[in-house]
Amino acid sequence: MARIKIPRKSTAIDMTAMCDVAFLLLTFFILTAKLRQEDPLKVDVPGASVKLNIPDVDMATITVGHDKVFFGVEGTDIRKALLEEMGKKYNIPFTPEETQKFMVTPTFGVPMNLMKQYLDLSADDKKKYVQPGIQVDTTTNSELFNWIYQARIVTKNLHNKELKFAIKGDSHEVYPKVGGIIDILQKQAVNRFSLITALNQSK
């Protein structure tokens, strides 16, 4: 009796479709990617059950943590105009190169008198440099007050929109620190702002 020969099948799989899918996904991720920005001030954001996303444009973030306050505003055009306005206010002329460097600094915590030195640092030195934070007090003439105020004016002039604010506070920061920032915003009649939280799924 003759044995039935089972033809051996090829073990090669057609990879074409898989390759297509992989590259499609890759393209999608490259196009939607917004590179994770290294925060100069690392804060542990408190969790909450809110699911509202924060907007990407016309947005300023005030980071509070480790007894320091950092300020950041979205948009290179706004940052450029903002530095010019702040330079005028504090009588510090900034060179075009410095302005260029400021435009790519999304968040900073440097007082005005050190701003020039900070911007002149090389990229490597900037990473090593420990930013001391922006000066804050309860008066209406602190540096943070002016940053916020000028940023609002610049946004209104350039985009004709109200600048939105978000406070990114560290979980372990005592409340009065954040309360002081809220007071500064309230003094400028900014009564609507967000508190950045992480999504808390455990509750």
Which residues of this protein are in contact with another protein, per CB under 8 A? 8-13, 15-16, 18-19, 22-23, 25-26, 29-30, 32-36, 45-46, 48-54, 64, 166, 168-179, 182, 185-187, 189, 191-200, 203
- Cβ distance to another protein smaller for residue 34 or 122: 34
- Strand (E) or helix (H) holding 129: none
Question: Taking the complex as a whole, how short is the minimal distance between the CB of residue 159 and another protein, in angstroms?
Answer: 20
Question: Taking the complex as a whole, how short is the minimal distance between the CB of residue 56 and another protein, in angstroms?
Answer: 9
Report the distance separating Cα 145 and Cα 64, nearest Å.
Answer: 14
Closest residue by Cα to residue 117 from 134, 137, 92: 92
Question: Taking the complex as a whole, how short is the minimal distance between the CB of residue 192 and another protein, in angstroms?
Answer: 5
- Cβ distance to another protein smaller for residue 101 or 168: 168
Report the distance separating Cα 181 and Cα 163, nearest Å.
Answer: 16
Specify which residues 71 forms β-bridges with.
62, 108
Report the distance separating Cα 34 and Cα 37, nearest Å.
Answer: 8
- Cβ distance to another protein smaller for residue 88 or 172: 172
Question: Taking the complex as a whole, how short is the minimal distance between the CB of residue 61 and another protein, in angstroms?
Answer: 9
Neighbours of 48 (CB within 10 A): 13
Neighbours of 120 (CB within 10 A): 13
- Cβ distance to another protein smaller for residue 8 or 128: 8
